[in-house]
Amino acid sequence: MVNLTKGYLDKQHTRSQIPLWRVVLVLIALLLAICAGIFCFRWIQVSDPYIQDVLSLNGDSMQGHAIFQINCAGCHGIEADGKVGPSLHHVSRRKSEWSLIRQVVSGKTPPMPKFQPSPKEMADLLSYLEQL
């Protein structure tokens, strides 16, 4: 009995091989796309006037603690150790300042409500969160 399948598979295998230059080209294009995405993301972050205002201010952690107690402690707990919302201990290690600001003001993470502090209040709150 003649094995016709072996010859057929060998031909199929050689047809499906991709030249190395194409693989390198695709990898370079992918790397450039990732870099462009990061650049655009950073540009959008920097261009938000509210965030620029917040980050230009020096926050007062004592004031931030008071703001937290009034607006956040109901869900995140008096000691920010989590209740309905997650624990915020070491949150500044997990999220950037920009990300924290967007989280607070956007209200896009239910059940967290939208909260619109002034730039100074937000700077104070960030200062408090950095100490947790």
Predicted confidence (pLDDT) per residue in 13-50, tens digit: 555 688 888 888 888 988 888 887 777 666 665 678 99
Output phi, psi for 28, to 5 deg. Answer: -65, -45
Q: What is the CATH number of the domain that holds 107?
A: 1.10.760.10
* pLDDT at 3 exceeding the cut of 70: no
- Predicted local confidence at residue 14, as pLDDT: 55
Is pLDDT at 83 greater than 90 in this prediction?
no
**pLDDT surpasses 90 at 111:** no
Range of the domain at 101: 49-131
Kindly report whether the global pTM for this prediction surpasses the value 0.85.
Answer: no
Assess if residue 42 is contained within a domain: no
Cα 78 to Cα 88: distance, rounded to the nearest angstrom: 11
Provide the domain count of the chain.
1
Buried/exposed code over 6-24 (b: 16+ C-beta within 10 A; e: otherwise): eeeeeeeeeeeeeeeeeee
Q: How many CB atoms lie within 10 A of CB 84?
A: 10
Sequence letter at residue 108: K
